[in-house]
Structure 1
């Protein structure tokens, strides 16, 4: 019997092998050194695997900020670190460092207790990166520098498979709907005077996106809502919107659409942000462990729905390479 790995090997040349990790999403790519420039053929192969498996992983990569940025640039132009990040690493404005110590330094020692769900990033629940922006990142690339011996895994879900798993009547319904996305949806706080709240208010991001997005490269339809940013479905009553979003959130995070990745130092994850959502670590908030990762994101375009609707800005501006962070 031919294994999945063997079948992928047979389809590749140049020493690259691919090992699938789950039924709907995820694969490890071996035989690529991300510290070196890649030829056009290798870049094209990695892109094809990314589009097919939605998230691909590389192990044992000994790279720093410069090499991570150089690798990512072979797939597109990079954004600034984050719409709310005013202090990326010196000389590397594209890098967003994910480290709980940084957030405690920026927002106070009580940050870990007050924002438990976000203690390892701006938001640690299920989300698609920066969909509050009218042009969310096309893809994200995350590199592990220091990770705990156990725990701290990240999980991704395939939103194309989730859409295809809906019944036909429900697909027809959501095909024509639009939703509001805003930064840290559903994370309202009573203390609006803290620094993080002031930062968000000074840099508002609110956009209207199609509930179903047509992928610009594959033509696939993907659910395009997520608990981290989607606040409501336009044109529905508050109750209808809440109930439908609850149904879609529960559906898109079903186990059969997901893959869970165990980080090691030197691991790199590269995911299609147009067709996935992901979940940060949920199991180490009570532990004194060190976890430091670095992310870059590729500039994306405005989502387009099956009916031709193109995403619209409500507040803020497009997410581009040049930072425009207002410090509250």
Structure 2
């Protein structure tokens, strides 16, 4: 769908079109080049809570406009809690560059994303990002799609007995998950040794806005279930990882030039593409994130920080 842009966007011009059964919608009738009014901002937030992933097309904007848009959903954080490991464009410390040329130079081989496995963004933190925004600048003509999955749908479709069992569990989250690794696939958790970040989150999280219950584990960061044996932990996680990546709960979106997506990082997991390594293409996107809250379980108990502190937006000067 091609978006029809309006310099003066209103709720009346805004159109939100679902693109999959459980999750995802495309938004048209809005121009992100211009500051949006409070009513349009509120409508977009409502749409994001409903569909969990929103996609915009034909938005010729830069870093400043992306940061402004991200701010409609909450305070904008620095690019990454391990800032020394990532690259931001000069003057925009909130932006993380997802650039295949940078990854290839660092790793010595083709790589098109810093995390090409199912994950939520940085759940090692005690307060992982609430929202993530990703804007396409250079995208291949074919391939390079991103897939998201709905953690609420995965929970809702479990039998009630299994739901109740999971609601009493906590899971450890750290960089590397169960298998030590880092963003380029060759470095290990050694990059976090000077700044260890580990948290224990409820396996079932309650969304702070919608109240929906969510399976809150992911293969990228979840390392073990707390309080059970390693064998039992692996079996529980294997079951949950299979459930949350069921194709029924997913949406796959193709990137086009000047497209942008935003997703609720509390309610979704996503997977970067793995179909480009044999192609001679460049893929450049720009990521921003919204400051998150500390997860709360069904019993009202909050996540526990084992190592590390909260990741907050920079103070406004």
Q: Same fold (TM over 0.5)?
A: yes
Question: 2: CA distance between counterparts of 1:257 and 1:61?
Answer: 27
Question: 2: CA distance between counterparts of 1:32 and 1:13?
Answer: 9
Unpaired runs of 5+ residues, structure 2, are 1-9
The corresponding residue for 1:312 is 304
Q: 206, 211, 226: which is aligned to 1:214?
A: 206
Equivalence map 1:5-24=2 (5 Å): 13-24=11-22
Question: 1: CA distance between counterparts of 2:154 and 2:190?
Answer: 36
Question: 2: CA distance between counterparts of 1:298 and 1:168?
Answer: 33
The corresponding residue for 1:101 is 101
Residues 238 and 152 from structure 1, CA distance in 2 versus in 1: closer, same or farther, beyond 3 angstroms?
A: same
Could you report, residue by residue, the CA deviation over 1:56-110 in whole angstroms, capped at 9, with x for unpaired residues? 10000000101100111122101110122334111100000101221233x3425
Question: In 2, are the aligned partners of 1:83 and 1:203 still within 8 Å (CA)?
Answer: no
Question: In 2, are the aligned partners of 1:123 and 1:184 still within 8 Å (CA)?
Answer: no
The corresponding residue for 1:42 is 40
Unpaired runs of 5+ residues, structure 1, are 1-11, 113-118, 324-328
Equivalence map 1:253-264=2 (5 Å): 253-264=245-256
Q: How many residues align?
A: 300
User: Offset of 1:203 from its aligned partner?
Assistant: 2.2
The corresponding residue for 1:8 is none
Equivalence map 1:66-77=2 (5 Å): 66-77=64-75
1:148 aligned to 2:146? no
Residues 27 and 51 from structure 1, CA distance in 2 versus in 1: closer, same or farther, beyond 3 angstroms?
A: same
Residues 198 and 322 from structure 1, CA distance in 2 versus in 1: closer, same or farther, beyond 3 angstroms?
A: farther
Question: In 1, are the aligned partners of 2:154 and 2:243 still within 8 Å (CA)?
Answer: yes
The corresponding residue for 2:219 is 227
Q: 50, 63, 66: which is aligned to 1:65?
A: 63
For the residue of structure 2 that corresponds to 1:277, the secondary structure is strand
Could you report, residue by residue, the CA deviation over 1:21-51 in whole angstroms, capped at 9, with x for unpaired residues? 0010000010010111111100010001000
Aligned Cα RMSD in Å? Answer: 1.6
Question: 1: CA distance between counterparts of 2:179 and 2:187?
Answer: 15
The corresponding residue for 2:283 is 291
Question: In 2, are the aligned partners of 1:43 and 1:74 still within 8 Å (CA)?
Answer: yes
User: Offset of 1:13 from its aligned partner?
Assistant: 4.1
User: Offset of 1:195 from its aligned partner?
Assistant: 6.4
Moved over 3 A (4+): 194-198
TM-score (norm 1): 0.88
1:137 aligned to 2:129? yes
